[in-house]
Amino acid sequence: MINLYQYKEDLKKAIFKRLEKIDPFKHPTDWAWITYALSHDGRSNNPIFKYSFEALEKWALSSNAGNQERHLAPLCIYINLTKKGESFAEAKKKALSIFNEVLEKEISKFSPLNDPEQVFCLSLISKYIPQNKREKLTKIILKRIKGRLLRSILYKASLLEIGNNKIDWPVLNGNESPEDLITLLWFYERYREKHEEELADVWKSFENIKPVLNLNIPDEDEDLINISNRSLSLLYEAVSLETHGYDPNMIFDVYPIHPRIRNISEKYFKNGNYVIAVDQATKVLNELLQEKTGIKNKTEADLVQATMKEISHPRRLKIKFNDFLDEPSGKNEQSGLALIAEGIFKAFRNPKGHKPEDHPIVQLDAYEALDQLIAISYIMKRIEKAEN
């Protein structure tokens, strides 16, 4: 399983390296895609994005920008990332001028409207396009939506950005090229609220090609597959969307998890083996119960039932969580904590012990694993404090 938080850092380093090698005035589209990627880390307190954006803005406002049809994509990315003002208005004027010109021409194989990359970038500013021209653009896209998977996906993404949700959802077929698969992964992440069913399968497929991807400057290394700046940027967006929120490894480090659980589960958790991490923690809980009670011939849920559930006979309890078992509140706490301990074995441990790791019932992401480890940690701390 990929540690996506670490992988995001690897992608970011690759983006930085590529940024050093690109001249925004010679390759504005590549520069724009890199700037687009960096924007997913936020635009404030982000000096690298600021540097990249300012260079893109300098190009967009230069006399060179807009004098070629292929400048449509970087101009649109700049417009999408900037705030309204004089710079925004000037760039928008240039982009819409290109669009209006190509819209009136016959669409040849070299037309920006026959290039799904250009069209997707245009769709990012579709709200500034008059309705009648958006409708004309939609018809053009629908005529060209078939073909290579990457091409089809970018056109379908364009339709979604424009507001046309009537698309056939792209699916895995097992024969995708790396760039096709990256684009499909990005598409599923960006529009996941519309369709989530296949996302896990796409990530699994990506995991198979990840080792052979060359994230750094494209070269002739025959052992690795080069990917474009666009694909690197889309991949960074996909990983950013999947890892939004705090790094679970950081939470694992700072949360006061029971030391025995930390020791047994840390290497598995930080390697992304969440199922094993939780499974090992439940074994530590079982071991603690046996040590605390001296009962060695029972395990897990049976051990819980034998040691902490007979609240009607407090003297029989091997684990007493409080001294108020003659009161309803004390009985409720005893019963509740016993149920939590029993539930940990039944819900966390038993499925993992009887089903393979790839079975849906035992699949865990990092945050679910943290939730379970913290629950186990809590009940262990209560057991250690309990009267024996």
Question: pLDDT tens for residues 211-254?
Answer: 999 888 766 556 788 999 999 999 999 999 988 877 788 789 88
Cβ contact 134:126 at 8 Å: yes
Q: What is the pLDDT of residue 196?
A: 65
Nearest partner of 375 among 243, 247, 254, 255, judged by Cα: 255
Place of tokens 């999947």: 242
- The answer to whether domain 249-385 has CATH 3.30.460 is no
For 338-367, b/e burial (b = at least 16 CB within 10 A) is beebbebbeebbeebeeeeeeeeebebebe
Nearest partner of 166 among 146, 185, 142, judged by Cα: 142
DSSP state letter for 346: I
Segment 346-351 shows an average pLDDT of 80
DSSP state letter for 83: P
Helix (H) or strand (E) holding 214: strand 213-214
Instruction: Work out the percent of the chain whose per-residue pLDDT is above 90.
Output: 68
Cβ contact 91:79 at 8 Å: yes
pLDDT confidence tier of residue 310, bands split at 50, 70 and 90: confident
Cβ contact 80:37 at 8 Å: no
pTM tops 0.75: no
Cα–Cα distance, 238 to 226 (Å, whole number): 18
The two beta strands, 213-214 and 225-226, are parallel
Q: What is the pLDDT of residue 350?
A: 67
Cα–Cα distance, 49 to 53 (Å, whole number): 6
Whole-number mean pLDDT of the chain? 90
Cα–Cα distance, 349 to 276 (Å, whole number): 10
**CA dihedral angle for residue 81, residue 85, residue 88, residue 92, rounded to 10 degrees:** 130
Question: pLDDT tens for residues 58-73?
Answer: 999 999 999 999 999 9
Question: pLDDT tens for residues 144-186?
Answer: 998 889 999 999 999 999 998 888 888 888 888 999 999 999 9
Domain ranges of the chain: 4-245, 249-385
